[in-house]
Amino acid sequence: MTTQNPFGRSITAEEIIDSLGFFDTWEERYKYIIDLGKELPAMPDAEKQEDNLVKGCQSQVWITHTLDDQKFQFNVDSDAFIVKGLLGVVLAAYNNKSASDIKAFDIEQYFDAVGLIKHLSPTRGNGLKAMVNKIQLLAG
């Protein structure tokens, strides 16, 4: 299932930065981010367990992973459309990457380039940081 995930493969962090630059308003950018979430493969209900929940998110967010040839393959889901899109933004940076690539990636610079944090509510921003922290912890 995780091999179908386009994030970190055909949908990259650079592509998201470029795509968001084409939109004039944040309303258009949010629509694009929500559409990104629709590209996420479905997470089996069996993986939506308490120990896969991300603490600190306003919405329910689940993250699981497998390793394939030393590269992390993440499976994610949320009960909120915008959060699924935000997960897509995060996975574009982290999916199909090695632990050292995940640790080396400057996520703050990426979020600055996207202009995301300043356009999210404080609780949504904290949730985004919680998602990133969970992935970074999984990468060791």
What residues are annotated to the active site? Answer: 57
Using CA atoms, how far apart are residues 103 and 106, in angstroms rounded to an integer?
A: 8
Which structure tokens are listed for 22? Answer: 């084409």
HSE-up of 132 (CA within 13 Å, CB side)? 20
Compute CA distances 98 → 9, 34, 41, 95, whole Å.
13, 27, 20, 9
Over 41-59, what HEC string results? CCCCHHHCCHHHECCCCCC
